[in-house]
Each structure stands twice: as C-alpha cells, then as structure tokens.
Amino acid sequence: MDFTISEETQVMLDLMEQFMQREVIPLETAYMTKSFAEIEPEIEKRRRKVKQMGLWGPAQPKEYGGMGLSLMDFALVSEVLGQSPLGHYIFGCHAPDAGNIEILAEHGTPEQKKRWLEPLVRGEIRSCFSMTEVELPGSNPVMMDTTAVKDGDDYVINGQKWYTTAADGAAFAIVMAITNPDAPPHKRASMIIVPTDTPGFDMVRNISVMGHMGDGAFSHAEILYHSCRVPQSNLLGPEGEGFRIAQERLGPGRIHHTMRWLGICRRALDLMCKRAVTRPIAPGQVLADKEIIQAWIAESAAEIQAARSLTIQTAWKIENLGWKEVRQEISMIKFVVANVMQRVVDRALQVYGGLGMTDDTILAYFHRMERAARIYDGADEVHKLSLARRILKPYRARAAELKEGNSVFR
C-alpha cells in the first residue's frame, strides 16, 4: 500500500484543524445547553465562513459545488472534523445527507438531482434516511414491513419507521419500502423519495436517547407512513434494487463513520492527557504521576494508532480494489474502531472523575451518544459472525476434502 499525504491535502487539513479549534469547538457549550433552533444562526455563520474558505462539502461532487475529495482524503478530513459533534455539519458533510447525496448523484434522475440533490449539496435543505423499523431487527435489513404499493402513477406507502436521523426539519426522506414482495429477499425493497410535507408522512416524535431528546439535525425520529402517496417518478434507481444501492453506500460510509470515531478518540485522549498533568491529587502530585493513568494513556494511544492504520488501509483498498474485495476489512473496522472509541472515552471520563459525568466537558456527550456505534450500521455481533464465516469458509472446504480422503489437518 502506497499512501502519502500530498502537500495540498496537508494544507487543507491544517486549515480545517485551525477552524475546528477556533470556531467549532468553542460552540459546543451552546450546543450542549440550547436547542438546535437557538444555535442554528451561529452554526450558519460558521457554515458561510467554511464556504468562503473553499472547504465546503469535502466529499460532495465538484459539479454540484462540493470539493470532490477522494475517499482517502476525506477519511483524513473526517478524522479532523470528528473531534466535535458539530464538525461534519458545519463543513457540509454530515450523515445522513452525505450518504443521500451519494445515492442521488449515482442513481437520481435529472429531475431528482435538480429538485433535491443540488440544494442538498449547497446546504439549503436537509434530508433523512428512513429504513429501521420498530418491531423488526435492524441486524437483518431484509426483514421489513413497510410497503409501497403501486396505484395508478403513484406509490402508496404504509409502515412505521424509527431512528430516522435528522427527520426533524428535513425537506425529504429516502424511504426503504417493499415494492416486490414475491421477489427473493434482497430484491424486494426499493428506495423512494418522500417529501416530508406529503400527506401521510407523520413525524410522531423525536426519540429520547439516554435522556436527551435532540432536535433539528441532531435528532432521531419515529415516523408513521399512513397511505402516503408519491409519484412513481420518485423511485431512486431500479425497482427492487434498494438493498444493492444501500450496499454500494456501505463501504465508503463505513470509512466516514470510523474515521469520525477516531477523531473522537483523538479528542478524548487529548483531554485525558491535559487533565492528567494538571489535576492535583496530593501535595506535589498530579494524576499523571500514577502508573494506572500512564497505562491508560499508553493503551489508548496504541489502540487508536492500530485502529487508524486498519481503517486507512481499508480506505485505500476500497478506493483501489473496490468494496467487494474488502468486505472482511469493512466488517473489521466497524467493531474494532467502535470498541476502541468506547474504551478511550470511558478512560478519559474516568480520569475526569465527577466532572466527566457532567456536560461541562464533551466527554459525557460522547459517552452517551456514541455508545450506539456498536449497534447502528450493523451490530458488532453481526459483523463478527460475518467475518468469521468468511475466514472459516476455506477451512471448512479443506476439512471436507480431507474427510473424503480420510486425512486430517496438520
């Protein structure tokens, strides 16, 4: 693997790092204590600055106003922006919009791109992705009850979705619904654009997550689709190809997430070290003098570096070989990085003691909001089982051959 950071990329990363420290991280106190509506004017002010600097939409296509970065370069950007929960949003590359932009750019019709993609890339509207269902396992996405039935020139959608991120205030949803119930499991669902002002699109509530409701772009909604009627021209890509399109988005999206998590790790380790060298615990002693604290710092630094190397290698392989050739690594980075993040944040919180439990630092936010990293986008256990099956497959085949020949492994 030949991976070097170009001078141009390094300059960009340095500019983003400076902006994060000067403009974004200081906004976190307001973010933690006020509603999205209250802080949105300050967020928009910073978004305008980002656009003026030519740093808007790092992962978005150039032809629509983004920077059009490669997956490798955006991975590095995502690590920098991930230091703050506001980073990706202020730079116009946040989920779920980033993934929806990819889908629209690749599979949208000219009319869909004009109406939805262009203003979405510009940051003039927001979107959401409506897939997870309350009564069915997210770990098995082919199990879905929401249906889209043809009626004349329309689809009529009925179903219940939840954990639809950023639905509050979104202009449209991309909905996964069963359009071909008699097809094989992976050919049953389609992606359909549903404007959120469509009759029958009912946002029931923003779901409280560990005691915090959230609102606006930083929320997770429950949605009911009651005979929600949209034209069949709102179909994204071919009918029955919803899961295939979602798989295309999965590999790059996994890099976006894991590098963001590594940005969180980096911030947590930085806070841990600052606290350790300044917190007195006895006359002439600080936390950093304790061997257990030193061990936590060393373990965190090593785990972050190992997880980062695996993620960068995976990004390089996706870019150069295609995601289908890197399925094992895509599974690996999901559970490896999510668990490293949880351990590093937990250690940092422990070093901060009582202060770490409060919202006077960002650590408690990371602890409660990023715990879900081991659940969403496929639970850890699902990825481990999938990885193990791929690893064991040639061994099972060889064992069967040897059994037929009355031989054993040596």
Predicted confidence at residue 401, as pLDDT, reads 86
Residue 409 reports pLDDT greater than 80: no
From 150-154, 231-235, 308-312, 326-330, the region with the lowest mean pLDDT: 326-330
In whole angstroms, how far apart are CA 381 and each of 134, 140, 263, 335? 20, 12, 24, 8
- Under DSSP, the state recorded for 290 is S
Residue 115 reports pLDDT greater than 90: yes
Residue 354 reports pLDDT greater than 70: yes
pLDDT tens readout for residues 388-400: 999 999 999 988 8
Sequence-distant (≥ 6) Cβ neighbours of residue 244 within 8 angstroms: 186
Predicted confidence at residue 194, as pLDDT, reads 98
The per-residue pLDDT of the chain, averaged, comes to 94
**At the top level of CATH, which class does the domain 243-397 belong to?**
mainly alpha
In this structure, are residues 326 and 251 in contact, taking their beta carbons and an 8 Å threshold?
yes
Residue 410 reports pLDDT greater than 80: no
Banded model confidence at residue 346, pLDDT cuts 50, 70, 90: very high
Residue 407 reports pLDDT greater than 80: no
Predicted confidence at residue 323, as pLDDT, reads 80
Please give the structure tokens belonging to residue 320: 């150069």
Averaged pLDDT, 256-275? 97
pLDDT tens readout for residues 176-215: 999 999 999 899 999 999 999 999 999 999 999 988 889 9
Strand 218-231 to strand 201-206: parallel, antiparallel, or no bridges (unpaired)? antiparallel
Superfamily of domain 127-239: Butyryl-CoA Dehydrogenase, subunit A, domain 2 (2.40.110.10)
Q: Rounded to an integer, what distance in angstroms lies between the CA atom of residue 338 and that of residue 332?
A: 10
Predicted confidence at residue 1, as pLDDT, reads 61
Domain 7-94 coded CATH 3.40.50.1000: no
Q: φ and ψ at 359, to 5 degrees?
A: -95, 20
Predicted confidence at residue 400, as pLDDT, reads 87
Domain locations along the chain? 7-94, 127-239, 243-397
pLDDT tens readout for residues 328-338: 999 999 999 99
From 69-83, 94-108, 132-146, the region with the lowest mean pLDDT: 132-146
Instruction: For the chain, give the number of residues.
Output: 410
The C-alpha torsion from 356 through 357 and 361 to 367, rounded to 10°, is 100
